[in-house]
Amino acid sequence: MKSTYTMMDELMAHPKNPMPDQFRIHQLTRMWEGLASMESAPNPTSDDWRVCSDAVNLMETLIEMGVCEDKQGLLTDAVNALGAAGKRAMQRGILRLDGAGIFAVRSILEDYAAVLDSVSHRTMVRAHRLTEKRIQGILRGRKQPHDVEVVDL
């Protein structure tokens, strides 16, 4: 798995200004489209699930970095909801969140959008790099007790 960002990308990212608009808008658009698809589209795709999972995983990293807090305590619920949706999809063939899952994922995505608009580009690149490293570790068998692994959606 090739990393999205390198250490050089992190060093070159602006240390104070937020991520450039084009990148923020792209991320947020994909994220909200993915959630909308998982809520109501006839055939949500694994890409829809993946962009939501990416945002939730990035929020987990940002919380671990001390950049923000999980004030509502919904991060674990969102992780579990996406994991359950992935597992149901492998069994039944359709990616759907239940009502509680929609609430948890939507709440975390709203928090992610707020963070994305307020923290520096460099911090976001660092969070992205750390998140990818953690996901690669999970795929290699280094899981933390709360990690949920869904393989081959």
pLDDT band, residue 145 (cuts 50/70/90): low
All residues at 6 or more sequence positions from 116 whose CB lies less than 8 Å from its CB, including other chains: 18, 19, 24, 27, 28, 124
One DSSP character per residue, 71-106 reads TTS-HHHHHHHHHHHHHHHHHHS-----HHHHHHHH
Cα separation of 14 and 146, whole Å?
33
**Average pLDDT value for residue range 131-146:** 78
Q: Compute the radius of gyration of the chain from its Cα atoms.
A: 15
Give 69: exposed, middle or buried? Use CB within 10 Å, 0-12, 13-18, 19+.
exposed
Average pLDDT score over residue span 29-39? 96
> Which pLDDT score, from 0 to 100, does residue 84 have?
93
Scan for tokens 């084009």, then name that residue: 22
The pLDDT of 109-122, averaged and rounded, is: 95
Centroid of chain to Cα 36: 15
Q: What is the mean pLDDT of the chain?
A: 90
pLDDT at residue 58, as a whole number: 96
Give the CA distances from residue 74 to residues 14, 31, 96, 106, 121, in Å, rounded to whole numbers and listed in that order.
30, 17, 18, 10, 25
Which residues have a Cβ under 8 Å from the Cβ of 69 and sit 6 or more positions away?
Answer: 63
Stated pTM of the model: 0.87
Q: Any idea which residue has 């970095």 for tokens? A: 65
**pLDDT for 24:** 94
- Predicted confidence (pLDDT) at residue 29 exceeds the cutoff of 60: yes
Q: What is the mean pLDDT of residues 12-30?
A: 94
pLDDT of 146 strictly over 90: no
Least confident of 29-33, 79-83, 130-134, 141-145: 141-145
Amino acid 69: pLDDT: 94
